[in-house]
Structure 1
Amino acid sequence: MASGTEIRIGLAAYPCAQRAAVLGLQDLLQAAGGLEKAARGLRVEIAEDFAGDEQFDAVILPPCLGARPEGEALAEVSAWVARQHEGGALVCSICAGAFPLAESGLLDGRQATTHWALAPAFAQAYPQVQLQAERLLIDDGDVITAGGLMAWTDLGLRLVARFLGLAVMLETARFFLIDPGGREQSYYNLFSPDLSHGDAPVLKAQHWLQAHYPEPVTVPRMAAAAGLEERTFLRRFQAAAGHKPSEYLQQLRVAKARERLELSTASIESIAVEAGYLDVSAFRKLFQRIVGLSPSEYRKRFAPARG
């Protein structure tokens, strides 16, 4: 454990762990601990022995590329995480690192995040976790989960602030040219409809929606496009597409609006109408809820600079 002047952080080099994240975190945290304003040092070690009893003050499960750890490897890493937590360590995960963390049972009944593309598999494997995949980072005190592959920068800064203070965190962010401001995965999570589910009538409705989304769309019209009775359509659409029809339509319309905000100079009012919303105020509220930014904030952040 840490002495009065040193904090030990273990970076778990489990199978498939992304080396870029492991080494990047090591560089960031060690640099922060070496700043003049830092009252204590950070000793960052790469942990590879998951059967040992070495105890850290914080442990980090990095993202992984390719297949996630399974079987004995998953059991070994999750058991190590549980022992570290029981010994008083702050436990953190990034992206797919949430899987061995959830396997340990430490996320049961808690809010947590992972990469948005992994959210369906995570939710199926660990239904007892309150998954919020739109969040980039969730700090739950003794457990911190971060979302995307590059969210290790956000987690690193959070740990620097936790252990060394806000002033050192801001100085570290300036040194590494990292934006310390709040971000969320929903800014980057573009709606990608599932068209490979194999339910032909539902696929017909999805194709119909791609052409008719700006119109006054109703469930009866969607069911007719699918050739199904309305109650059957509602059940099968959600099972196949992963959304209720109304939610799917909202996601599709907002995705189209995002494209227009990025690629055109049209007014937000006209983009709302093009997407199927006559009530511009309602469109703004829906866009904010789904994306996490207002339409004007989204355009400012993501539209290319125009000369």
Structure 2
Amino acid sequence: MEQIAILAYDGCWAMGLFSAADFFRIAALLEKHLGMQPSFTVRVVSVDGAPVSAAGGHVITPDAALEDVRAASLIVLPAIEGPRLAGFEADARVLEWLGQHIDAGTRVLALTTGAAWLAASGRLDGGLLATHWAFVRQLGKRYPACRFVARESFLQEGGLYSTGSLNGCFDALLDILARDRGDRFAQLCATHLLVADPHRLGPILPGHRNHCDDTVLRVQDWIESHHAEPLTIERMARQAGVSQRTFKRRFSEATKLPPNLYLQQVRIDKAKKLLLATQLSVREIATGVGYENVSFFVRLFKARVGTTPARWREGAS
């Protein structure tokens, strides 16, 4: 069973801490419902196991101390309250513990300003870290060995994840879940998060936003919100404000996918969520994600997923 450790410390935002804990509670409930063996044990930890005061003044009582967690598969670092960043000094005991786990291959997810912990660890020197847009400059001055960027979703450097928003926390956790438990289970988890209508849930497309081309990122956002429309390379390039040739080159370099294939993956991902979270027919879902030709949609879905939409909805492969 994999162990998830969520760090609690004075001045952390409890919202991020409990969002991560509740995410894995949803995953555990789904595993039970599906008759699967439980995969995760979640523990909130503090330096010495003693209670800490969160940013809002509420007391968090941890489950364990750092020394009690010797083998974690994932460590979550909640955000620091913004005004506390100026006087933030990373606890040496946390940094030693964190560094040992990173060196042992443990994945780490830093939520917005929690990226300061990753920067202070020295394990991402020369790398990119996502954080809340309001603290990009402040963190960049504090930790010049790292480059900080605002990112709604998340960045990934090996097993180290960072995000600039609470929604990005869920995106990163779904990415991790998809790698560990498979795409269908992650899609089920996404549809049970109840943070948005299924039509509005972000796609689970691991790795394709792990770049810093802001123009391409804006077009990706635009594609994901306009995927049901007839989208051509010409329209995408116009949205980017560059020539079609330049757009195709930049998009492929940044995302590692040609634009048309990225659009296909977004549409298929949206269809997966609608298949699980609604009673819409396959025809209605095909039309809803941008395919008027239902037969073409079914063939494309089977080619991408390995089974038909109807069988995927039923859980068959």
Q: TM-score, normalised by structure 1?
A: 0.54
Consecutive unaligned residues of structure 1, counting only runs of 5 or more, are 1-5, 190-249, 259-276, 298-307
Give, in whole Å, the separation in 2 of the partners of 1:140 and 1:49: 26
Residues 78 and 149 (structure 1), Cα distance of their counterparts in 2 relative to 1, 3 Å cut: farther
Match of 2:46 among 40, 45, 48: 48
Give, in whole Å, the separation in 1 of the partners of 2:126 and 2:154: 17
- Is 1:62 the equivalent of 2:83? no
- Asked if the contact 1:16/1:65 (under 8 Å) is kept, the reply is yes
Deviation at 1:40, TM superposition (A): 4.5
Aligned residue for 2:68, secondary structure, equals coil
Partner residue, 1:175: 192
- Is 1:31 the equivalent of 2:26? yes
Residues 39 and 64 (structure 1), Cα distance of their counterparts in 2 relative to 1, 3 Å cut: same
Deviation at 1:124, TM superposition (A): 1.3
Q: Greater shift after overlay, 146-155 or 67-76? A: 67-76
Give, in whole Å, the separation in 1 of the partners of 2:162 and 2:116: 11
From the CA coordinates, give the structure whose radius of gyration is larger: 1
Identity of aligned residues (%): 22
- Asked if the contact 1:29/1:42 (under 8 Å) is kept, the reply is yes
In structure 2, give the amino acid aligned to 1:65.
Answer: E
In structure 1, give the amino acid aligned to 2:91.
Answer: A
In structure 2, give the amino acid aligned to 1:29.
Answer: F
Match of 1:119 among 133, 136, 149: 136
Match of 1:161 among 178, 203, 213: 178
Residues 28 and 37 (structure 1), Cα distance of their counterparts in 2 relative to 1, 3 Å cut: farther
Partner residue, 2:5: 10
Residues 87 and 71 (structure 1), Cα distance of their counterparts in 2 relative to 1, 3 Å cut: farther
Consecutive unaligned residues of structure 2, counting only runs of 5 or more, are 49-64, 223-240, 264-317
Residues 172 and 37 (structure 1), Cα distance of their counterparts in 2 relative to 1, 3 Å cut: farther
Give, in whole Å, the separation in 1 of the partners of 2:101 and 2:166: 23
Q: Deviations over 1:149-177 (max 9, x none)?
A: 44221122122223222121101001115
- Asked if the contact 1:95/1:148 (under 8 Å) is kept, the reply is yes
Give, in whole Å, the separation in 2 of the partners of 1:61 and 1:45: 13
Deviation at 1:65, TM superposition (A): 2.9
In structure 2, give the amino acid aligned to 1:60.
Answer: V
Residues 52 and 44 (structure 1), Cα distance of their counterparts in 2 relative to 1, 3 Å cut: closer
Partner residue, 2:290: none
Give, in whole Å, the separation in 2 of the partners of 1:111 and 1:185: 10
Q: Deviations over 1:191-247 (max 9, x none)?
A: xxxxxxxxxxxxxxxxxxxxxxxxxxxxxxxxxxxxxxxxxxxxxxxxxxxxxxxxx
Give, in whole Å, the separation in 1 of the partners of 2:43 and 2:66: 14
Aligned residues: 219
Deviation at 1:20, TM superposition (A): 1.6
